[in-house]
Amino acid sequence: MKLLFTKVLVFISLSLVPSISVGSGRAVVPDRDPVTYISPFQEENLNCFKCHGQEKYEYTNELLGTQVKAIMCLEHIIKSEDFYASNHRSFSCTDCHSEDYSIFPHSGELRMELKYTCLDCHGGDDTFSSFSFEGIDADYRESVHFKLENDGFSCWKCHDPHTYRISIRESKNLKETILYNNNICLHCHSDYSRFHLLTDRDEVNLMKTHDWLPDQASHFRSIRCIECHTRINDSILVAHQVLSKDQAVKLCNECHSRNSMLMVSLYKFHSKEQRRDGFLNGIILNESYVIGANRNSYLGNASMLIFGIVILMILIHIIFRIKRNKLKEG
Ligand code: HEC
Ligand code: HEC
Ligand code: HEC
Ligand code: HEC
Ligand code: HEC
Ligand code: HEC
Ligand code: HEC
């Protein structure tokens, strides 16, 4: 019995551990600590980081024999600490880019190089099945952004190839995760030069379009943009079907109610694992604005205790009855 019990426990705890991906022959469990992580391509990547790692770079003008210093444009700067904290930290730059980039000035044709898509590497790969790349791809194809593909939109626009790292899946700090997530959207929706690379539409002032929401700043710190702007899909952790503005959530009680939609979106992952220990209660439970996770563990424990006492009393009662009956018989 005890053995069975421990087995069940082990099974449950194993099934809670997020499966760790094995990449095509790379480190099985990549070190997730950016401070201690050492890439097998550290040296090699320095050849690129020496120019792309900061604002200033240098090269020799071989015709004049002079040393030239110049400014690297912002869009071409990759901070090495961000790269080595990203999902693809075990890569060398030239895994995704042509080897010819080691030559400077870069040949003009290299601009035309074909870029991999996520599905080129992740499609049909069982090691990543927990992420359901195919499901995400299907939802993305239904999203408002997909029609911008001809203008250059792609998964990479939200998942920066050099800095993207999974967040909600391993979130220890929900507020940080929300900030990380919302910055992905604000990268374009608060920077019109990026926005206008993709559309001729007029600038949209986000503060104005959301002015119906009270305490906007506080809401944007407590929920992700995708909470209101995507269709929830039960089979994937992060919904990817961004809907048009007229389909966005506007009703307060979609969230501010006992069966809040947030339980199947923002709190989905935590609701399984961390609801019990009160991790969430601190963040989402504000007495006057119940969001739905209103499960107090003390109350829960107290009711278990009462239940236990009742069972015990019934048992004692039965034992006394049996004894009395035996006494009567004897
Ligand atoms: C001597 C400095 C220098 C080095 C070293 C260097 N780059 Fe660059 N790179 C630049 C500059 C400057 C630009 C922007 C102008 C241009 O496109 O040539 C650039 C542009 C790029 C671009 C963007 C091209 C586009 O589409 O516009 C890519 C990709 C790139 N570099 C990759 C690399 C990789 C990978 C390495 C290492 C193998 C590398 N670079 C090494 C200076 C450098
Ligand atoms: C996982 C694949 C991958 C790796 C690894 C990678 N890149 Fe890129 N890189 C891309 C893609 C894809 C783009 C085009 C992004 C887009 O279209 O928005 C890109 C774009 C660039 C650009 C153009 C500016 C930009 O951000 O759009 C530069 C510069 C660049 N990469 C340099 C590097 C350097 C330096 C490294 C190594 C530290 C590196 N890349 C590693 C996939 C990668
Ligand atoms: C050139 C192939 C390639 C491309 C393109 C690529 N990936 Fe990956 N990706 C990998 C490999 C290999 C790993 C495993 C890395 C490791 O174990 O160090 C990985 C890891 C991941 C992980 C898991 C990280 C973790 O810590 O468990 C996610 C999520 C991910 N990639 C998302 C994406 C997304 C989103 C895109 C497109 C925007 C993309 N990848 C494009 C090859 C690729
Ligand atoms: C409009 C922006 C946007 C686009 C486009 C987008 N994503 Fe995402 N994606 C996100 C956000 C935001 C997250 C949440 C990041 C986090 O917290 O880990 C995410 C998370 C993910 C994850 C991790 C989910 C998990 O279970 O941990 C994968 C895998 C992924 N996206 C793949 C893709 C692929 C493949 C595409 C293209 C078909 C794509 N994404 C396009 C915004 C986008
Ligand atoms: C690379 C830039 C970029 C990123 C990143 C991006 N968007 Fe967009 N988004 C656009 C552009 C451009 C449009 C306008 C499309 C058009 O012309 O109709 C748009 C349209 C939208 C619309 C439709 C508005 C309407 O009029 O119906 C919504 C909603 C939206 N985005 C939400 C998001 C969310 C949420 C995220 C983050 C998960 C995000 N976007 C990330 C560029 C971006
Ligand atoms: C509480 C729900 C909610 C949140 C959170 C939210 N939105 Fe919205 N958003 C809406 C609604 C509802 C509309 C439609 C407003 C209208 O048309 O009156 C809208 C409109 C938009 C539009 C279309 C604007 C236009 O007029 O074309 C964009 C783009 C957008 N939101 C992006 C974002 C981004 C980016 C974030 C995160 C920083 C975000 N939203 C957070 C509910 C939300
Ligand atoms: C997408 C979900 C969502 C929607 C829609 C939403 N809220 Fe909220 N709201 C939240 C969350 C999450 C918090 C943060 C709760 C906390 O920190 O305790 C919050 C906090 C608040 C607060 C407290 C703000 C503070 O500073 O503590 C008020 C007031 C509020 N919401 C009112 C509204 C009203 C009115 C509407 C409709 C117009 C609305 N909310 C729509 C999720 C939502």
Nearest-Å Rg of the Cα atoms of the chain is: 27
Residue with tokens 């604002």: 55
Question: How many Cα atoms within 13 Å fall on the side-chain side of residue 20?
Answer: 9
Angle at 16 between CA 274 and CA 88, to 5 degrees: 100
- pTM for this predicted structure: 0.87
- Note down pLDDT in tens along the chain; length 330 residues: 333 333 333 333 333 333 333 333 343 445 677 778 999 999 999 999 999 999 999 999 999 999 999 999 999 999 999 999 999 999 999 999 999 999 999 999 999 999 999 999 999 999 999 999 999 999 999 999 999 999 999 999 999 999 999 999 988 899 999 999 999 999 999 999 999 999 999 988 999 999 999 999 999 999 999 999 999 999 999 999 999 999 999 999 999 998 899 988 888 766 555 544 444 444 444 433 445 444 445 555 666 777 788 788 888 888 878 888 877 665
What is the structure's pLDDT at 223?
96
Q: Which ligand is nearest to the CA of 125?
A: 3
What is the per-residue pLDDT for 73?
96
**Ligand nearest to the backbone CA of 178:** 4
Distances (CA, A) of 67 to 57, 62, 63, 64, 210: 11, 9, 11, 9, 51
State how far the Cα of 231 lies from the Cα of 189, in Å rounded to an integer. Answer: 19
- Ligand 1 neighbour 48 (Cβ under 6 A): yes
Is residue 52 within 6 Å of ligand 2 at its C-beta?
yes
Task: Return the residue whose CA atom lies nearest to atom 14 of ligand 3.
Answer: 23
Q: Which residues touch 227 (CB under 8 Å, ≥6 apart)?
A: 249, 255, 261, 262, 265, 266
Largest Cα–Cα distance in the chain?
Answer: 119
How many angstroms separate the alpha carbon of residue 48 from the centre of ligand 1?
Answer: 7
What pLDDT score was predicted for residue 303?
A: 66
Q: CA dihedral in degrees (293, 296, 301, 306; nearest 10)?
A: -100
What is the whole-number distance in angstroms between the Cα of residue 104 and the centre of ligand 1? Answer: 7
193 token code pair = 């030069």
* Residue ID of nearest Cα to ligand 6 atom 6: 225
pLDDT for position 329: 66
Q: How far is the CA of 123 from the centre of ligand 2 (A)?
A: 20
Angle of CA points 274, 253, 172, to nearest 5°: 20
pLDDT given at position 19? 33
Residue pair 231/141 in contact by the 8 Å Cβ criterion: no
Alpha-carbon distances, residue 181 vs 158, 159, 325 (angstroms): 9, 10, 69
Both tokens of residue 28? 């099985």
* Cβ neighbours of residue 157 closer than 8 Å, sequence gap 6 or more: 145, 188
Residues within 6 Å of ligand 5 by CB: 144-145, 148, 157-158, 184-185, 187-189, 194-195, 198-199, 201, 225-226, 229, 242, 244-245
